[in-house]
Chain A
């Protein structure tokens, strides 16, 4: 087995509007019980990769809180590595605070781990993927870099912030921004396998060309000058890139068939524990097609929605097509539709809060309305 160093790259995390104003996408709540980074870390863990560097750009607080001692994954043991990599030197200079500089600033990890390959993966693509299979393919092809991609037929309305690849015999010949003009496209999932020697070489080479060059520029350079192959990921993938998509894609997973593609047999998704008691359903509870998390106490109506931990839904309250985050209270007779309610907020006086699929209503963290 190869020695592999995994980078969880948060530098290119997309923004979900007000939801990510003060938190990183990595630690943003997802499906009631997870945060986005859980999927990437679980993919690493399940792929047998337990030396991980997390490349952090900003919002350290919420991320450190979520990671805790990281004993939910396998990276905090004596044989594993969890390093939170932060480029303090360039933290206040947004042009310089990019992934390549962060990797260089924290090159002690490369020197220490002496890995054969690096795997770089973001958190805004939610999927279940075995990186070992990508490495095997990478070795078989004798590639310098392998890029994971998906062949999609909806690139006009989805993957708007992503890059489109062109391939010839599985060799990648170009990478361009998705202009959303064609539905059929090969979308880059920004997940890369790179042979270690080539990685070190390219990191320093690219910095000499421009100090502002980021990982994406490194890949662009490599496509021109090195052997860059594609690896097709055929399973579930969604790019969580806007608040609307956050709502749409989250609710989409209520469908069993869709969910089955993400939550695979023998591919557990690990997360931190909160030791909350089970969900309590009272006499007037009427819950349909929803994810409900532990500690919630429900006496109202909940439909096509996702409730996080310890949400209280009072008798007579109605929640439809909404995502309610941890510790919220929905009082009697409140009616919520297409609402994203951030943590610790309370709906006390407002009776009718209705957004739409295209324009969901956002309730700020801790607000009482």
Chain B
């Protein structure tokens, strides 16, 4: 049966700037907010947008991520008519290739897209934190009779030189794309979210696949190619919370947004855009007789016998007596032993802070504890 809209989530990136956090798992599998992994956001957005066919392209350290995605049941994508398919690079008749870029990853799976036969393809990144109804973006794409629609976010002029910037006409059609411009002409930054009419995408991808000079990237190659070919390429303005957690600092900030930022991703909003995730086999969350918890998020299975302030505590994390966790993110299964003090720190999964140990006493920067 033909599908109107299918999603392809690019989840193969390493996320080098997240240091040891992504040594063993791909960036989309990094924990966030005490109970989520980052990829829960695009997957839940798909589910909440009524998209029932999702391909997840994995490459770097993909075992944990593939296992996590499973049959898509965590996001309700395991129904009769739905499909969550993990698409790692594979050996083919023509040979075996790694994914050489975002566009190449999709190009190598044209056979899959053909088998689903969609009218429109939604390309997403697996490592962004936001809530979005992609159907609204598709409505815009249809209204504009567009060949490609790119979601954009209004950033400050200062930030603009860090992004791919879209220069648009009054009707939001894009006449120029500039990757990280020194002197930005506009502040509309690409969010790495694209809707393509499939026939246009397929043609562009096949052309790009055989271009040896191309770096096979949507931003650098495919979009400029479509603009040059006078295709109808439009910007879709997104308003709301969106975070690309590229660095330890931004991962920490994104977590702190859940405590401080009134315009955060809205986990508690009653907006029919619930973020689905794994349900851990946890015991109830327990606060001890001397426990102190203020201005924090705690997940099921966590135990706090000491003090937690302005922090995010994940499932199965244990904060022992007289221990203090301030301005920090504690990932699943980590243990802060008696009398230890932790400031502005990301404590990785299953890490142990020994008794009376003090981490980041000067409270400067962000410290990562991870082996």
Contact = CB atoms under 8 A, between A and B. Distances in A.
Contacts of B34: 278
Interface residues of B, number: 33
B257 to A, nearest CB: 13
A287 B279 contact: no
Contact of A281 (B33, B267, B297): B297
Interface in B280-318: 281-300, 308, 312
A79 B184 CA distance: 61
B295 A283 contact: yes
A275 interface: yes
A254 B287 CA distance: 9
B294 A281 contact: yes
Given A288-B289, A290-B286, A277 B295 contact: no
Contact of B267 (A269, A277, A286, A288): A277
A33 interface: yes
B256 to A, nearest CB: 14
B294 A291 contact: no
B288 A278 contact: no
Interface string B268-279: 100000111101
Given A275-B279, A279-B299, A281-B293, A287 B287 contact: yes
A285 B311 CA distance: 14
A31 B284 contact: yes
Contacts of A117: none
A178 interface: no
A249 interface: no
B35 A277 contact: yes
A285 B292 CA distance: 8
A275 B312 CA distance: 17
Given A287-B293, A288-B291, A294-B35, A279 B285 contact: yes
Interface of A: 31-33, 71-72, 254, 259, 263, 268-270, 272-273, 275, 277-295, 297, 306
30 contacts: A72-B279, A269-B281, A270-B281, A275-B275, A275-B277, A277-B267, A277-B275, A277-B297, A278-B33, A279-B297, A280-B297, A281-B295, A282-B295, A283-B294, A285-B295, A287-B287, A287-B291, A288-B287, A288-B291, A289-B288, A289-B291, A291-B284, A291-B285, A291-B286, A292-B287, A292-B298, A294-B35, A294-B300, A295-B268, A297-B268
Given A272-B279, A288-B291, A297-B268, 13 more contacts: A32-B284, A259-B286, A269-B281, A278-B33, A278-B34, A279-B298, A280-B296, A281-B295, A281-B297, A284-B294, A285-B294, A291-B286, A292-B284
